[in-house]
Amino acid sequence: MTTNNTGFTAVGAKPDAPDPRSPLRRPSAIVLRAALTRIIRTGTLELCLPDRRVLHFGTGGPIVAIAIHDWQTVRRIAINPDLALGEAYMDGRLSVTHGDIYAFLDLCLSNIGLGSGHWVRRLQQRLHQLGRRFMMHNSVGRAQRNVAHHYDLSDDLYDLFLDPERQYSCAYFETPRDSLETAQIRKLDHIAAKLHLAPGQKVLDIGSGWGGLALSLARRADVEVIGVTLSAKQQHYAEARALREGLSDKVHFALRDYRHQRGQFDRIVSVGMFEHVGVAYYPEYFSRIAELLSGDGVALVHTIGSVTEPAAPHPWIRKYIFPGGYIPSLSEIMPAIERSGLIVADIEVLHLHYAETLKAWRLRFLANRDHVEALYDARFCRMWEFYLAACEASFRYGGLVVFQIQLTRKVGVLPMIRNDISEAGYGRAGWDSGEAGGDNIQELKCR
């Protein structure tokens, strides 16, 4: 650890040698200043360069201040901000001196919106798209390694910021007063209602995680559930929980790729797993669901999605958080469903629910930061803080949503209208809704 000539402490940074040139004659500083001038219009960003010169961008509030501690980091961020910004924060080469990392990302992404920012970033995105199929190569062996990278971390880590059901996916917020626990239970209820469960049915949970959904379905409707996961730690945790709750005769968890699953199931559910499939494997994924689903069966796929055109995986998220992961556009999903022979019965798009979920996770993570650092180290804490903050801001401004796609093999299996779901207690009140009651469809408007 070294202290450079700015007076800030940066991990791994080396003091810059004196440079007689104006820092704004450096090509990297010119590119970065041009990009930030174009991006920051509403709100103010103060940027302290390695020579302690401060640049101002935008006007009005909120005001966020950051410092970049060496010229090498300035150059990296100017060339490849999608990767270098997160790395700089992780390594302590970029620090937030007024506000926090979420405030900085919120400021940037709220100004960018659904656009792609500076022409340099647009060019980078085009180049990333050329190699995206290679980035998302998820053969059986690689898929298991990718899952282990994220989900086989310490159990204690996830206990520090998740709800007791260990739901590591989008919650369902009905009112601004909902706790994370309430919203996650409501999400489980919402999924169960869409599956139209009946006692004695056989259910397959693809990507069963720590078992919360599978156990919840078994308790609600006396169904038999098989959950498959590629995480050894998740499988062991879920099996132990089923035994503790007296449900091991109804719910079983297997360390198995969904492509190796056999049998017929009345219901199939997959929550938060489709993001790890990879575009090239979409036809195989939906074909397997079609083969495993009984003739009168119902399937529900719950996945993060994008309202924009297809893009490439985010390079920082792909490298450090979810290798092999990808957020699809609806236009990429539908052709694979159509070719599989499955019928789309319903699509619901959840706006801002995941932003609120991530906010709750981020605040809990920060409240337990000392415990996380004891498990890992300060760099890991900065990495995860950046991950949670960047994802939350992306769900607020970057066009990320959640798709819930209900599927059948034939017409007439499900009711013709959604009243059965709303009558189960969903959508009664919004964040800023109109009058309740009747058949009104109310819009969720998170602030």
- 383-408 per-position pLDDT tens digit: 999 999 999 999 999 999 999 999 99
With b meaning 16 or more CB within 10 Å and e meaning fewer, what string describes 64-73?
Answer: bbbbbbbbbb
Q: What structural domains does the chain harbor?
A: 2-130 (3.30.1050), 140-422 (3.40.50.150)
Retrieve residue 405's tokens. Answer: 């796609």
Retrieve residue 209's tokens. Answer: 């995680």
CA distances from 395 to 45, 306, 389 (A): 21, 9, 10
Residue 91 exposed, middle or buried by CB count within 10 Å (0-12, 13-18, 19+): middle
CA distances from 353 to 91, 364, 446 (A): 31, 17, 8
Q: What is the pTM of this model?
A: 0.85
Active site residues: 391
Retrieve residue 63's tokens. Answer: 């005001």
Each residue's pLDDT tens digit, 152-170: 678 899 999 999 999 999 9
First to last CA, the chain: 40
The Cβ of residue 357 has, within 10 Å, a number of other Cβ atoms equal to: 27
- What are the mean pLDDT values of the chain's consecutive 10-residue runs (447 residues total)? 35 44 74 93 96 95 97 95 96 97 97 64 50 52 59 84 96 91 96 96 97 96 96 95 97 96 97 93 97 97 95 89 90 97 96 96 98 96 97 95 97 86 50 34 32
Alpha-carbon torsion, ordered 219, 225, 226, 229, to 10 deg: -40
For residues 263 and 102, what is the distance between their CA atoms, to the nearest angstrom?
A: 46
